[in-house]
Structure 1
Amino acid sequence: MSRRRVAILISGRGSNMGALIEAARSPDFPAEIALVLANRPDAAGLEVAREAGIATASVDHKSHPDRESFDAALDAVLREHAIAFVCLAGFMRVLTDGFVERWQGRMINIHPSLLPLFRGIHTHRRALEEGVRVHGCTVHFVVPELDAGPIVAQAAVPVVPGDTEESLAARIIVQEHRLYPAALRMICAGDAWLEDGRVVFREGWDAGGALLSPPA
């Protein structure tokens, strides 16, 4: 089996990075984590990747005068390592349109809300303020507009009385760690792909079942 070479872009500890690395240890996983690339040389996730035997690199955004030159340096490192696909995992930089377009259909992100709800930051706080009864996370292809790309997969959790940002985040991160590897597997196995601005799936799935919050 030919495994797709994947780079993970991080800014900090990269908890979703860890889930992707663990999933890729399986010999039947259709991708290998070939590179972990950070925009901060001191990002904690770089050491985690090194301990896992994965190549690492950093491109310090502070050493570049503008976003265009920073993104050009990122692109050069990805090409140097023969990367075929990119996963963003807590990468706290807004990428330029040019970079996103070069990697169109080959770059995904995980966002802590059920998009298109709560794009941007502070998603758990906003979900609680709005009083939603279901919250979750989304894996989507990256497009120039922030958190607006075609959706690959979503996971939902109930919002319960007494929830705080912290308690809600703790339940959702568990689902993120399940969802992101599953989405990457689908894409790299050829079971999901981007076509005409939408995600197409090779097969359908059972439509039965529902999450009720509060339970009936």
Structure 2
Amino acid sequence: MLRVVVLISGGGSNLRALLEQCRDPEYPAHVVAVGADRDAEGLAHAEVFGIPSFTVPFTSYSSRDEWGAEMLASITEWQPDLVVLSGLMRILPPVVVDALAPRLINTHPAYLPEFPGAHGVRDALAAGVTQTGASVIVVDSGVDTGPVLAQERVPVLPDDTEDRLHERIKPVERRLLIDVVRGIADGSIELGAASTH
């Protein structure tokens, strides 16, 4: 059984989908803990599912590296096989990425390498493209530059707002995340051999 720690900053809709999937006895992964960089709404999902959680508030530390060291200590306490960034809106310092890679993955609401960064949906709309997408990647030291594990296109409709488009991308992100975690657990996805597209 793959041991997973999920890190969030917000509502945790991807986290909830993964927790629901983990209830299936056939699913080969289990969320052992949920962490956050603030008092995130999504921590309530962990409580509902009886999953332990921890918070390492970014604002409590004098530097990103200091915060990262504490976050890493909190993660490693759970001895995870995989760490999932699920809406963690903070870039992990290199010491954390180096310690966890390649068993550190992230979801992103765009078809990478298109529209990396914190505003993937807004940037796609601003660019006037007819399609964007969702991706699951291995986290590396860049911003959304790691090897792509799975991705899928999502059309941009003429009347899309940022919220509307994001709401259509989210279910695709969730499905890709669940499939990738399953693939890592059953060995059909090898993180060390992840390819870039």
In which range does the TM-score fall when normalised by the shorter chain?
Answer: over 0.9
Provide, for residues 25-81 of structure 1, a one-character-per-residue CA deviation record: whole Å limited to 9, x for no partner: 1111111000001111x2111122111110111111111111111111111112212
Could you tell me which runs of 5 or more consecutive residues in structure 2 were left unpaired when the two chains were aligned.
none
**Correspondences of 1:131-150 after superposition (within 5 Å):** 131-150=128-147
Aligned counterpart, 1:51: 48
Aligned counterpart, 2:88: 91
Q: Distance in 2 between matches of 1:46 and 1:197?
A: 30
Aligned residue for 1:43, secondary structure, equals: coil
Provide, for residues 81-121 of structure 1, a one-character-per-residue CA deviation record: whole Å limited to 9, x for no partner: 22221000111111111210111110100001000000112
Aligned residue for 2:50, secondary structure, equals: coil
Which has the larger displacement, 141-150 or 75-84? 75-84
Matched, 1:124 2:121: yes
Conservation of the 8 A alpha-carbon contact between 1:37 and 1:59:
yes
Displacement, 1:175? 1.0
Aligned counterpart, 1:208: none
Q: Distance in 1 between matches of 2:164 and 2:22?
A: 29
Aligned counterpart, 2:153: 156
Aligned residue for 1:166, secondary structure, equals: helix
Q: Distance in 1 between matches of 2:48 and 2:193?
A: 40
**Correspondences of 1:195-206 after superposition (within 5 Å):** 195=192, 198=195
Give the RMSD, CA atoms, in angstroms: 1.4
Displacement, 1:142? 0.2
Aligned counterpart, 1:15: 13
What TM-score, normalized by structure 2, do the two folds share?
A: 0.94
Counterpart pick for 1:34 among 14, 28, 32: 32
Matched, 1:105 2:102: yes
Which has the larger displacement, 124-133 or 99-108? 124-133
Which has the larger displacement, 112-121 or 157-166? 157-166
Question: Between Structure 1 and Structure 2, which shows a larger proportion of helix residues?
Answer: 2
Aligned residue for 1:143, secondary structure, equals: coil
Aligned counterpart, 1:193: 190
Which has the larger displacement, 119-128 or 45-54? 119-128
Q: Distance in 1 between matches of 2:87 and 2:136?
A: 13
Aligned counterpart, 1:4: 2
**Taking every aligned residue pair, what percent have the same amino acid on both sides?**
40
Aligned counterpart, 1:64: 61
Aligned counterpart, 1:79: 76
**Which structure 1 residue ranges, 4+ long, deviate > 3 Å from structure 2?**
none
Could you tell me which runs of 5 or more consecutive residues in structure 1 were left unpaired when the two chains were aligned.
200-216
Which has the larger displacement, 120-129 or 46-55? 120-129
Conservation of the 8 A alpha-carbon contact between 1:105 and 1:193:
no
